Amino acid sequence: MASRLLMASRFRNSKVVLLITCLLLATGRAEAADDGSVAIRAEFPGGNVVEMQNDGSTVHVAPDLRGDSPWFYWNFEAVAEKPGRVTFVFPEKVVGFKDGAIGFQGPAISLDLGVTWQWMGTGNVSGSSFYYDFEKAKQRVRFAVTIPYLQADLDFFLAKNAANVHLRKSVLTKSRHGRDVELLQIGNSGSATKPVLVTGRHHAAETIASYVLEGFLQEAMSDSSAASEFRKEYVLFAVPFVDKDGVEEGDQGKNRKPHDHNRDYGEISIYPEVQAIKDLDKAQNFPFTLDFHCPTLVMPDHQVMYFVGAKAHPRYNFDNVTDFAGWIRKGLPKNAPHGPLVWLRDQASPSPMNSHYFGFRKGAVMAATIEIPFAPTGKATDPASCRKYGQVMLEAWVNTHFISAAETE
């Protein structure tokens, strides 16, 4: 059991896992060879699980918190020894954590080792558990709380657009664990264009927002009339993975200790990515910033799209976000999540988060966070739909009449 826990615990420990696997194989006791009919693994990008108990037909699992606060992200592979039903059970309540581990569209499922995913629906879900009927021996099925969006997905998107003349790719910085953190630029810098910064994955687990951000970028570099209008007036910078290590290692990200990436915009930044974003801002002086997030999984209030940020920082933030949100609502298809609603709040002084850092800065016009729900009941949050929402947001941007304080002074 101890070795199982270890094996399932983290991708970061892959060398340890490899060693243990080798030892087990060498002694003729491969992991799945005991009486169980299913083996659980998470040693792949984005993988996350703690396996607590496994009798072959019922497997007790939980999100791997890795020393951080309770949260709901998990993503594992189940390898069936034989065909048949296996039930996966999550704790009713992780200590201090009142939100469930399965969303309103059921778990996400992949039958091709994580290449393509879909929401499973809730037919197999009961409370905090779900079952799956494996069809054949050795079948490998991945399950996750959300549809993952990983380096491989970004790489695929960038490769698809490699020949696009409007897109430039560079390295913003190296992550703590030595990974390149991408900085994308769409359009031309210069006195004719205003710089816009969009960011994603300050919180590693918030994968659905990445599909929307990808759609936004795809549209911005396209040949549509909205895109050429956009590029005439703006130059777009994007950091798709702010917490790059957390994304690839399958961390929760949110509420990471001592603080997470979106609470790192104080005097001293401890994450290289946030420091690099501040440095980029010194060069660009971004009047426009939009940070893509997902809220919690099952809280009733969090089943809609909504904007957050400081109402009057910058001065016309509320008016600008309201106008922008209105255009988005007009453009979204019927099956899109409700909203986006405008939940900007009065804020006397900035807290150390992205939207406040940029919103309280001189010269800002709009600084906001958009929250995209993971899986609201009856609404589409599959990758293709979410990319479409991103496209709608770019079109809405072009229609929005942003008011700047400079205009009115």
Identity of the residue, 7 or 144, whose beta carbon is nearer to Zn ion in the bound complex:
144
**Residue 394 DSSP label:** H
Identity of the residue, 227 or 274, whose beta carbon is nearer to Zn ion in the bound complex:
274
Identity of the residue, 242 or 398, whose beta carbon is nearer to Zn ion in the bound complex:
242
DSSP reduced 3-state for 209: helix
Query: If we measure between CA atoms, which residue out of 133, 1, 160, 148 comes closest to residue 73?
Result: 148
Identity of the residue, 10 or 293, whose beta carbon is nearer to Zn ion in the bound complex:
293
C-alpha 318: how far from its chain's center? 25
In sequence order, which residues have a C-beta less than 8 Å from that of residue 409 and are 6 or more positions away?
A: none
Strands in 343-395 per DSSP E: 366-371
Minimal distance, residue 257 CB to Zn ion, in Å: 16
Minimal distance, residue 285 CB to Zn ion, in Å: 25
Minimal distance, residue 24 CB to Zn ion, in Å: 38
Minimal distance, residue 351 CB to Zn ion, in Å: 14
CB 181 within 8 A of CB 200: no
| DSSP calls for 123-136 | TTEETTEEEEEE-S
Minimal distance, residue 206 CB to Zn ion, in Å: 5
Can you give the binding site for Zn ion, defined by CB under 5 A? Answer: 203, 206, 293
Minimal distance, residue 209 CB to Zn ion, in Å: 8
Q: Which residues of 88-107 are buried (b: 16+ CB within 10 A; e: fewer)?
A: bbbbeebeebeebbbbbbbb
Determine how many CB atoms are found less than 10 A away from the CB of residue 196: 24
| φ, ψ (nearest 5 deg) of residue 142 | -100, 140
